[in-house]
Chains A and B, each alone.
Chain A
Amino acid sequence: MIERIELTKRFDKIDPLSIKNYLDFGGYEVFKKALKMKQEDILNEIALSRITGRGGAGFPVSIKMKSFAKESGFKYVVCNADEGEPGNFKDRYLMEKDPHQIIEGILISAFSTGASKCFIYIRGEYAKAIGIMKNAIKQAYKTNHLGMNILGSNFSFEIEIRRGAGAYVCGEEFALIESIEGKPGRTRVKPPFPTQVGVFDKPTLINNVETFCNLPFILRIGGTEYSKIGNEYASGTKLISLTGNVKNKGLYEVPYGRTIREVIEVLGGGVNDNKKISMVQLGGACGAIIPESLLDMDIDNEKFNIFDSKMGAGAIIVMDESFDMFDIILKNMEFFQHETCGKCMPCREGHIQVLNLIKKFVRYSANEKDYLSLESLAQVIHETALCGLGQTSMTSIISTMKFFKEDYQQRIKESLFKEEYYG
């Protein structure tokens, strides 16, 4: 079996607007169990599970939680539901189809770390998800799964929703925090890190929607058992947003360690119209573009590091041979040029120049010098940008320069030809 259905098991089986449905399905049972556990024990289970963050950076969850648990005073948890990376839609499904699972995960993380309030930051475009989450929170308050002395315990906790308003960069931790505070989403200088000084200058634990959803699952089967799912580099299941030129686009839950090819061919049913795959972009617009020959790679974070990029949030965008690589890169760059917050200079001033250079390739008017400028500029933006946006936006260029270098050379030759014959 390629799939292992855990986080998505209630999808379409329960009414997302009904907390009763969720409860009938065993919902909040794990949280009740957690309420009786010692906080360290919960954190230890999570450590045993080896779970890593599902929002993109793949940071070990327990390290962040443990350092956050050590902070004192009023503390916030933030659920990152900004999901703006093109090609990703898993968090939307999680919110629209099983909202209480997220709340249960948030409750477990808050209880085990001593946090008092949570902001769920949902991108403004997700109107339906916002409605469903608001309804779920209301029900949770009504049934005392939120509020004062939850289910008769000493634990009190609040959740509030904040909406985004069209800014991809607000998925970045500090930009998110600024946005929750009602400000423009421009990141802050690190250190200090959010776990020390976050929302309203209080310690703040930020995790992705899917990461929270894994917590009830971990406590249900135990950290050790959970860690057996997956491979040596990554444990658990991953929601994969499969899109592009495949027959069966959609959301799939797959244990770590399966290959990309399996996902595309078995779950996705291969490419439309019997065309060939020419490229696959992993993670989203900030991910690497790899050739068909590399598809046998496992789905996990560690191995993806060789491309200087991570698994990302789990998008797989499949492109068939009818698409021009430079058009795709151009689209990626237009996206980042639109989304750069403008705070730091290489990212603000760099993308427009990258765009100019890529356009030359698209229009068959590039030369060797343009290639060198592009190569150097992409590297500088990647290495000097202040936040993850600028640090990762060049991945499609850097990876194609590695795997599709001939295509660049070919385009330069064709440009020369075009110029000579057509002027």
Chain B
Amino acid sequence: MVNLRINNIDITVKDNMTILEAARQHNINIPTLCHYPDLHINSDCRICVVEIEGYKGLKTSCSTPVSEGMNISTNTPKILNARKTITELILSNHDATCTSCVRNMRCELQELAKNLGIDINRFENVLVKKEIDNHNPALIRNANRCIKCGRCIDVCKEVQGMHVLEIIGRGHEMEIAPAFGKYLSDESCTFCGQCANVCPVGAIIEKDNTNTVWEKLYDPNYHVMVQVAPAVRVSIGEEIGLKTGLISNGKLVSAIKRLGFNNVYDTDFTADLTIMEEGTELINRIKTGGVLPLMTSCCPGWINLAEQEYPEILPHISSCKSPQQMFGTLAKTYFAEKENIDPKDIYVVSIMPCTAKKYEATRKELRIDNENPDVDIVLTTRELGKMFRQMGIDFDKIDEVEFDDPFGISTGAAVLFGATGGVTEAALRTVYEILNNKPLEDLEFKSVRGMQGIKEASVKLGDLEVRVAVSHSLANARVLIEDVIAGTSPYAFIEIMACPGGCIGGGGQPYGTTNDVRLKRIASIYEVDGNMVYRKSHDNPSIKKLYKDYLIEPNSTKAHHLLHTKYSMRSGKA
């Protein structure tokens, strides 16, 4: 333990803490800008400087370890002046058109300037305008707003192992950009959007599709359908300023209806369907000696990685479309036939925690009759929040409403798709009962839950002891992938999610998605599962009906035609 004094308050903290950690633990707030809880300490912005008695100059609290007897001041006039000056400097090389920025009132730089009381900028604006990269369907990179904090590089390189973004150039001319300063779409970007999630300002943002959706909602020629992904119900609360991890089912549906959608459906329904299809595929592969391990296919970020960098892995990936795409397909076939609507008049909107889903929806392979896209447009959780704000919806004052039929009934297994390990757990619940022909006693596979990077479980399926593995974040995925390619993977089934924590930690989720926040959202996911009437996908009565009325049986020819797809090797060009 170390004794020190901050602002004349004596405190005792653990060894090896930084001054910033020690201060925060004792509710002494030191402002920061480049700092982000789960990433490297870059110590680049120098905003968190403090004065330490006996030390020359100012020291950054984020990087200076505490030591016995330190006497620290965090807010002297000198410190305040330094913070203000640095903030002015940053603003003098920034496109500070705040009122026309997505991050207005939600921007870390703006917040800092406000808290420090910046009322003038003594320095000339020296910004040299650069081209904005909006050449892909998922992300926009606006270098004019970038403050070069390096967070995006850290997630892209360390967490995702992608290394698409780098510092290009030196000194004042440097820019955060892909190789050759090109577009994201020219490089092997997976559009996972983790960069957009950690960016403190409006420099990397999702492509905003809310205007298109508003237009379609008011266009009488379209029947606009919407699906909501499992992870959105535990994060939308944060987006509109409510508690972290708040579970909002009924209110979420009700609010979306108020936006003008005729029917609000649940992607959980097609998650159950995915389990039926993927589970059957697994059973078949095990029984017929097919390619194993079978790898999940619901995450488009991971599919992008596989197609771009690991063509050898493609035969391992389940041919199932993702739940989002299955929903779109059923909307434009089953539902269209049932309701007697021309599929061309159906417009399918998805609300996803994910920016890569925006890209997935544009894939040529994922179209009905090769032309009508399964899903027409994808909104992230953040964009949904924007529509709520545009409409002035007050969550506190609206009723709870159920999802609509026929895609409204789902199971606890389906909602697990939102968290890392969830697809595996859902699949095991079903595959176990089918193969062993007896009810599963303990539904909860705890060993595949939680934030550990790579998790495993083993289950007795028939005569076989089968091992499964789960990874989240692409750097972890690479470990499992490379084993599979090397032929040393001991698993029969592997779940891969591109984003840390799974979809609850997706690139389209509310800002401030730290690991602490992820854990809270994950806890909520398991709470929702626990409260469900049905907790196994094969128990879902609507799914049973769908097979009976339309798809015949899992992996039937019809199911294959509608619900499965193919992958192919691609160079970096999306």
A residues in contact (CB < 8 Å) with B: 167, 184, 186, 189-191, 337-346, 348-353, 356, 369, 373, 376-377, 380, 382-386, 391
Q: Which residue of A lies closest to B173 (CB)?
A: A342
Contact present for A345 and B90 (CB under 8 Å): yes
Among A340, A342, A348, A380, point to the contact of B85 (Cβ < 8 A). Answer: A380
Contact present for A337 and B123 (CB under 8 Å): no
Q: With a CB–CB cut-off of 8 A, which chain B residues contact A186? A: 167
Contact present for A184 and B123 (CB under 8 Å): no
A47 to B53, CA, bound (A): 29
The 10 closest A-B pairs by CB, nearest first: A349-B89, A342-B174, A383-B57, A380-B85, A340-B171, A384-B46, A342-B171, A189-B43, A353-B123, A189-B63
Q: Which residue of B lies closest to A345 (CB)?
A: B45
Q: Is B82 interfacial (CB-CB < 8 Å)?
A: yes
* Total number of residue pairs linking A and B with CB closer than 8 Å: 100
Report the minimum CB–CB distance from B421 to chain A (whole Å): 33
Contact present for B85 and A339 (CB under 8 Å): no
Q: With a CB–CB cut-off of 8 A, which chain B residues contact A342? A: 148, 167, 169-174
Report the minimum CB–CB distance from B44 to chain A (whole Å): 5
Q: Which residue of B lies closest to A338 (CB)?
A: B171
Contact present for B93 and A349 (CB under 8 Å): yes
A341 to B150, CA, bound (A): 14
Among B41, B44, B46, B126, point to the contact of A353 (Cβ < 8 A). Answer: B126
**Known A345-B147, A346-B46, A391-B57: A351·B85 in contact at CB below 8 Å:** no
Q: With a CB–CB cut-off of 8 A, which chain B residues contact A338? A: 171
Contact present for A376 and B81 (CB under 8 Å): yes
Among B57, B82, B123, B148, point to the contact of A348 (Cβ < 8 A). Answer: B148
Contact present for A341 and B171 (CB under 8 Å): yes
Report the minimum CB–CB distance from A391 to chain B (whole Å): 7
**Known A340-B171, A342-B170, A348-B171: A382·B89 in contact at CB below 8 Å:** no
**Known A189-B43, A344-B44: A373·B167 in contact at CB below 8 Å:** no
A384 to B172, CA, bound (A): 17
Tell me what chain B mostly uses at the interface: helix, strand, loop, or mixed: loop
Q: Which residue of A lies closest to B124 (CB)?
A: A356
Contact present for A348 and B174 (CB under 8 Å): yes
Q: Is B98 interfacial (CB-CB < 8 Å)?
A: no
Q: Which residue of A lies closest to B89 (CB)?
A: A349
Q: With a CB–CB cut-off of 8 A, which chain B residues contact A380? A: 81-82, 85-86
| Known A344-B46, A349-B89, A373-B123; 17 more pairs at CB < 8 Å | A167-B170, A184-B170, A338-B171, A341-B170, A345-B45, A345-B86, A346-B89, A353-B92, A353-B123, A353-B124, A377-B123, A380-B85, A380-B86, A383-B57, A383-B78, A384-B57, A386-B43
Contact present for B171 and A339 (CB under 8 Å): yes
Contact present for A383 and B58 (CB under 8 Å): yes
Q: With a CB–CB cut-off of 8 A, which chain B residues contact A391? A: 57
- Count residues of chain B with CB under 8 A from any CB of chain A: 34
Q: With a CB–CB cut-off of 8 A, which chain B residues contact A190? A: 63
Max chain B C-beta neighbours (<10 A), residue from A343, A349, A351, A356:
A349
Q: Which residue of B lies closest to A370 (CB)?
A: B122
Report the minimum CB–CB distance from A219 to chain B (whole Å): 34
A376 to B86, CA, bound (A): 11
Report the minimum CB–CB distance from B148 to chain A (whole Å): 7
**Known A189-B41, A349-B92: A386·B46 in contact at CB below 8 Å:** yes
Report the minimum CB–CB distance from A201 to chain B (whole Å): 15
Q: With a CB–CB cut-off of 8 A, which chain A residues contact B203? A: none
Report the minimum CB–CB distance from B206 to chain A (whole Å): 26
Report the minimum CB–CB distance from A385 to chain B (whole Å): 7
A350 to B172, CA, bound (A): 9
Report the minimum CB–CB distance from B100 to chain A (whole Å): 23
Q: Is B49 interfacial (CB-CB < 8 Å)?
A: yes
**Known A191-B65, A353-B92, A383-B58: A346·B174 in contact at CB below 8 Å:** no
Q: With a CB–CB cut-off of 8 A, which chain A residues contact B81? A: 376, 380
Q: With a CB–CB cut-off of 8 A, which chain A residues contact B45? A: 344-345
Report the minimum CB–CB distance from A199 to chain B (whole Å): 19
Q: With a CB–CB cut-off of 8 A, which chain B residues contact A340? A: 170-172
Report the minimum CB–CB distance from A354 to chain B (whole Å): 10
Max chain B C-beta neighbours (<10 A), residue from A191, A338, A340, A345:
A345
Q: Which residue of B lies closest to A369 (CB)?
A: B122
Report the minimum CB–CB distance from A422 to chain B (whole Å): 23
Q: Which residue of B lies closest to A336 (CB)?
A: B171
Q: With a CB–CB cut-off of 8 A, which chain A residues contact B169? A: 342
Among B57, B78, B89, B167, point to the contact of A345 (Cβ < 8 A). Answer: B89
Report the minimum CB–CB distance from B150 to chain A (whole Å): 8
Q: Is B263 interfacial (CB-CB < 8 Å)?
A: no
Contact present for B44 and A343 (CB under 8 Å): yes
Contact present for B167 and A184 (CB under 8 Å): yes
Contact present for B42 and A189 (CB under 8 Å): yes
Report the minimum CB–CB distance from B203 to chain A (whole Å): 14
Contact present for A345 and B124 (CB under 8 Å): no
Contact present for A384 and B58 (CB under 8 Å): yes
Q: With a CB–CB cut-off of 8 A, which chain A residues contact B126? A: 352-353, 356
**Known A344-B46, A345-B44: A383·B172 in contact at CB below 8 Å:** no
Contacting A at CB under 8 A, from B157-188, are 167, 169-174
Max chain A C-beta neighbours (<10 A), residue from B41, B65, B85:
B85
Report the minimum CB–CB distance from B35 to chain A (whole Å): 12
Contacting A at CB under 8 A, from B64-104, are 65, 78, 81-82, 85-86, 89-90, 92-93
Q: With a CB–CB cut-off of 8 A, which chain B residues contact A356? A: 123-124, 126
A376 to B81, CA, bound (A): 8
A184 to B81, CA, bound (A): 31
